[in-house]
Amino acid sequence: MKPRIGWFGSIDEMARPDALRRVREEMGLNTIIPESHLCHTSGFKASPEVTAISPVEDWRAQPTLAAHRQMHRLPPEAFAVLPGVVSGWDDAEFLRVLDEAHRLGIDVWGHIGVWSYGGSVFPDLEMRDLDGNLVSAGDTRWGVPFCPSKRRLNDWIAACIADIVRRYPMDGLHMDHARYAPPAAFHILFGCACADCEAEAGRMGYDFQAMKRGLLRLRQRVQSLDAGRMRKAVESGMGLFDALTALGHDYQVLSWFKFRCDLLTARMRQFREAAEGAGRKVDFGTDCFPPTFALLGGHCYADWEQVVTFISGGFGGIVGWGGVGPQLFATWTRLLCGWAKGLSESDALAMLYRLFGYDVLKLPRTVSSLEKAGFSVAEVVIHEVRKMGLQKTGRVGSYPPLVLNLAPDELEQVCDAVAESGHQGVIASGVNLGKREMLNMVRDKFQL
Q: What is the pLDDT of residues 322-332, one digit of tens each?
A: 999 999 999 99
Distance between CA atoms of residues 290 and 381, nearest Å: 9
Q: Which of 120-134, 217-231, 398-412 has the lowest average pLDDT?
A: 217-231
Residue 203 to residues 149, 207, 307, 341: CA-CA distances in angstroms? 12, 10, 20, 42
Which of 142, 2, 159 is closest to 83 using CA atoms? 159
pLDDT the model gives residue 416? 97
Residue range 28-51: mean pLDDT, rounded: 97
Q: Is residue 250 predicted with pLDDT exceeding 80?
A: no
Q: DSSP readout, 278-322?
A: TTS--EEEEEE--GGGTGGGT--HHHHTTT-SEEEE--HHHH-TT
Q: For residues 106 and 88, is the Cβ–Cβ distance under 8 A?
A: no
Residue 154: pLDDT band (50, 70, 90) is very high
Mind listing the domains of the chain with CATH numbers? 4-194+257-321+376-446 (3.20.20.80)
Q: For residues 163 and 50, is the Cβ–Cβ distance under 8 A?
A: yes
Distance between CA atoms of residues 328 and 270, nearest Å: 31
Q: For residues 416 and 447, is the Cβ–Cβ distance under 8 A?
A: no
Question: Residue 327: phi, psi to the nearest 5?
Answer: -65, -40
Q: Is residue 241 predicted with pLDDT exceeding 80?
A: no
Burial class of residue 38 in the structure, from the number of CB atoms within 10 Å of its CB (0-12 exposed, 13-18 middle, 19+ buried) = middle
Please state, for a pLDDT cut of 90, what percent of the chain lies above it.
Answer: 88
CB atoms within 10 A of CB 447: 9
Distance between CA atoms of residues 385 and 421, nearest Å: 7
pLDDT tens per residue, range 81-99: 999 999 999 999 999 999 9
**Average pLDDT for the chain:** 95
pLDDT tens per residue, range 253-289: 999 999 999 999 999 999 999 999 998 999 999 999 9
Its sign, for the CA torsion 178, 301, 361, 296, is: positive
Residue range 37-62: mean pLDDT, rounded: 97
Please state, for a pLDDT cut of 70, what percent of the chain lies above it.
Answer: 100
pLDDT the model gives residue 242? 78
Q: Which of 173-177, 246-250, 405-409 has the lowest average pLDDT?
A: 246-250
Q: For residues 233 and 351, is the Cβ–Cβ distance under 8 A?
A: yes
Q: Is residue 448 predicted with pLDDT exceeding 70?
A: no
pLDDT the model gives residue 62? 97
Q: Is residue 244 predicted with pLDDT exceeding 80?
A: no
Residue 251: pLDDT band (50, 70, 90) is confident
Collapsing DSSP to helix, strand or coil, 237 comes out as: coil
Its sign, for the CA torsion 247, 248, 251, 256, is: negative
What's at 179, amino acid-wise?
A: R
Residue 397 to residues 122, 281, 388: CA-CA distances in angstroms? 35, 16, 12
Residue 373: pLDDT band (50, 70, 90) is confident
What's at 428, amino acid-wise?
A: A
Which of 204, 227, 447 is closest to 344 using CA atoms? 227
Per-position b or e across 267-300, b if 16+ CB within 10 A of its CB: bbeebbebbeeeeeebbbbbbbbbbbbbbbbbbb
What single-letter DSSP state applies at residue 129?
B
